Amino acid sequence: MSEPGMGTTDGMGPTTEVGEHTAETKGTGSDLAVHLDGITKRFPGVVANDDVDLRVERGTVHALLGENGAGKTTLMNVLYGLYEPEEGRVVVDGEERTFDSPRDAIDAGIGMIHQHFMLVDPMTIAENIALGNEPTKWFGMAVDRDRIDRDIRDLCDRYGFDVDPGATVEDVGVGVQQRVEILKALFRGADILILDEPTAVLTPQEVEGLYDVLEELTDQGKTIIFITHKLDEATHAADAITVLRDGKSVGTVRPERTSREDLAERMVGREVLLEAESEPVETGDVVLSTQDVVVEDARGVELVSGIDLDVRAGEILGIAGVDGNGQAELVEAITGLRTPDEGTIAYEGADITEWSRRRRIESGMAYIPEDRHERGLVMPFDLVENGVLGSQRSARFSDGGRIDWTGVRDHTEELIETYDVRPPNADADAQSFSGGNQQKFIVGREFERDPSLVVATHPTRGVDIGSTEFIHDRLLELRREGVAVLLVSSKLDEVQSLSDRLAVIYEGEFIDVTDPDTITEEELGLRMAGHQPGTDAVDGPNAGESR
């Protein structure tokens, strides 16, 4: 295997320098849809892109793979007109272009589908797709809704999208919402589509559906560039893969001429353990238990329906489910963010159903929230201030009611170093960091509270492979130390490899609690979609008991 960052033939002809186009794809060597030539983009104190060369063949799927902070999104923001590079050229369909805004990029046939969908939930699919670009009739006096509906249905027929333009966005699943975002770009005439972490919120079945969509789009001449840090989706979906590390390109390869291990080493610069190795440990007493917990929304609709669970010291109980099936509300009840409408919650033998969030933290309950912006950080605060959140009254950081900011800074800088937060600047506002680096900081703060219970919801969401490996190792280390862990994740490989028991939640209920070693990913995906396991179903008051 070639050293990461060095030229490699990989069966595709010789290369002489990093960044040269090496991959054989569907198109011809001269048929480039996009050529980013020597792109350099700097921010204060950071070179985000350093002389990056990217060549994307027309009618192909091209993956941009790299760790958090590698420069992937910055590079695509240059292509989409959000940033102007200090050096280099942007060439689209053979023509050098200068984009002053995303509108210029859209006019050039470039569309970008962001990781967090930009849809208006109460509006219909058709209204969302045409929003801001509505055709009119009667000399511009009225929106031509018939034409909108007709054009959208034509697009759906052409690309095989099963989408009802009259449906309301809030009533459809995330897989359909993603198709709506793609349709929005196509409706505006996009020939080049940029997808940012396109599988982040999808079930395995929805991921397969997305792959089918990408294939149909490229078969009809569209060009796809997708940003990812997931090895499997890059090797499965892409015709070519360009790896970025520390703002530089470390080569472009064909998926069939490389391996997950090679790609991981290129990304990180060292050998990476791709799967967590969880060894059996002896569990202790029950640390967390819930009995008949019910959580309702403001209308009285049950979001959590009588869930029982227990988690023992030295055990990881995983909860797998599609977002929106009650796991968020269950976690909020456990961590003190809301009071359950029925049932009880016990922590280390004490009834904590009515306890405040602060009291739970002080008693040793750590929490990695689902929404890092709303629940994990105060975005305008710097990392020093965020590093003490939840512990500002503890003896460790407070002396006579005054916060020991020197001690807090030392602690924060240690977190930054240990959890590889980039850039390593404790005085920078949380909002200035990428989502993955924000996540690493939150994980570090919560893991280092010396907890007896960790409630971890999507702990590696948006986090690169090297940091994922570190977080998984740290979770397993906490487990070996006798900490109880409740792990909620939509990543099936994560919950399967880390959990001692695995509960599947659907519409507010556990429809199965199983041994993660005995269930396949396909079976787990079906459970997450609501398919009952038959005689394997586990419910009732013993559903959460240890095996």
For residue 378, tell me if it sits in a domain.
yes
Same domain, 309 and 405: no
Helix (H, G, I), strand (E, B) or coil at 321: coil
Last residue of a domain, one of 151, 169, 187: 187
Q: Which domain holds residue 408?
A: 365-450
Same domain flag for 67 and 210: yes
Residue 476 lies in a domain: no
Q: Would you place residue 442 in the very low, low, confident or very high pLDDT band (cuts 50, 70, 90)?
A: very high
**CA 19 – CA 251 distance, rounded (Å):** 5
- Return phi, psi of residue 390, to 5°: 90, -15
If 0-12 CB within 10 Å is exposed, 13-18 middle and 19+ buried, where does residue 417 land? exposed
Is 297 found in the same domain as 264? no
Question: Looking at the structure, do residues 401 and 336 belong to the same domain, yes or no?
Answer: no
d(CA 441, CA 108): 38
What DSSP letter does each residue of 416-472 carry, written as one string?
Answer: HHHTT-SS--TTSBGGGS-HHHHHHHHHHHHHTT--SEEEEESTTTT--HHHHHHHH
Are 48 and 141 contained in the same domain? no
Distance CA 326, CA 413 (A): 36
Please report, for the domain that includes residue 233, its CATH number: 3.40.50.300
CA 165 vs. chain centroid, Å, equals 27
Dist. CA 214–CA 216, nearest whole Å = 5
CB half-sphere exposure, 304, CA atoms < 13 A: 26
pLDDT in tens, 358-380: 999 999 999 999 888 889 999 99
- Bridge partners, 510 (sequence order): 505
Helices (H), ranges, 108-244: 125-130, 145-159, 174-187, 204-219, 231-237
**Same domain, residue pair 72 and 206:** yes
Residue 6 has pLDDT above 90, yes or no: no
pLDDT score at 20: 39
Rounded Cα distance, 490 and 492, in Å: 6
The residues with which 223 forms a beta bridge, in sequence order, are 192
3-state SS string over 14-53? CCCCCCCCCCCCCCCCCCEEEEEEEEEEEECCEEEEEEEE
The amino acid sitting at 536 is: D
The confidence band for 540, taking pLDDT boundaries of 50, 70 and 90, is: very low
- Which of 69-78, 142-151, 199-208 has the largest mean confidence? 69-78
Residues 5 and 68 in one domain: yes
Give the residue among 203, 114, 152 at the shortest CA–CA distance from 492: 203
Whether residue 457 is predicted with pLDDT greater than 90 in this model: the reply is yes
CA distances in angstroms from 458 to 318, 321, 370, listed in the order given: 11, 11, 6
Residue of 122, 125, 102, 97 whose CA lies nearest to 113: 102
Pairing of strands 87-92, 32-43: antiparallel
Indicate if 339 and 388 belong to the same structural domain.
Answer: no
Task: Name the average pLDDT for the chain.
Answer: 87
Rounded distance between C-alpha atoms, residue 220 and residue 192, angstroms: 12
Residue 64's pLDDT band, with cuts at 50, 70 and 90, is very high
In a domain, 137, yes or no: yes
Q: Is 70 exceeded by the pLDDT of residue 546? A: no
pLDDT at 342 over 90: yes
Task: Decide if 75 is inside a domain.
Answer: yes
| 195 and 183 belong to one structural domain | no
What is the pLDDT at residue 504?
94
Statement to judge: residues 60 and 207 lie in one domain: yes
Measuring CA to CA, how many Å separate 295 from each of 325, 352, 359? 12, 16, 21
Domain end, chosen from 168, 187, 206, is at 187
Mean pLDDT to the nearest integer, 488-507: 91
pLDDT at 78: 97
Q: Is residue 63 part of a domain?
A: yes
Looking at the fold, whether 89 and 223 belong to one and the same domain comes out as yes
Count of structural domains within the chain: 4
pLDDT at residue 4 above 80? no
Query: 223: buried, middle or exposed (CB in 10 Å: 19+, 13-18, 0-12)?
Result: buried
Work out the angle between the directed axes of helices 204-219 and 521-528 (0-180°, nearest 10).
Answer: 100
Confidence of residue 201 (pLDDT cuts 50, 70, 90): low
Is 296 part of a structural domain of the chain?
A: yes
Identify the weakest region by mean pLDDT among 297-301, 347-351, 444-448, 484-488: 297-301
Q: What is the mean pLDDT of residues 228-243?
A: 92
* Domain presence at residue 501: yes
Q: What is the dihedral of CA 218, 221, 225, 226, to 10 degrees?
A: -30
Helix (H) or strand (E) holding 487: strand 484-489
pTM of the model: 0.68
pLDDT band for 390, please (50, 70, 90 cuts). Answer: very high
Judge whether 336 lies within some domain: yes
Question: According to the per-residue pLDDT averaged within each range, which of 52-56, 116-120, 133-137 is highest?
Answer: 52-56
In this prediction, what percent of the chain has a pLDDT beyond 90?
Answer: 61
Is beta strand 95-97 parallel, antiparallel or unpaired with respect to 302-312? unpaired
Of the given ranges (153-162, 288-297, 382-391, 480-489), which has the lowest mean pLDDT? 153-162
Question: Residue 29: pLDDT above 60?
Answer: no
Greater model confidence, 537 or 305 = 305
Looking at 405, 425, 450, the residue that finishes a domain is: 450
| Mean pLDDT, rounded, for 297-311 | 95
For tokens 């939840």, what's the residue?
Answer: 390
Kindly state the DSSP code that residue 182 receives in the 8-state scheme: H
Query: Are 98 and 242 members of one domain?
Result: yes
Residue 27 pLDDT exceeds 50: no
Average pLDDT value for residue range 151-155: 91
The model's confidence at residue 277, banded by pLDDT at 50, 70 and 90, is low
Tracing tokens 């900490």 back to the chain, one arrives at 483
The pLDDT of residue 203: 65
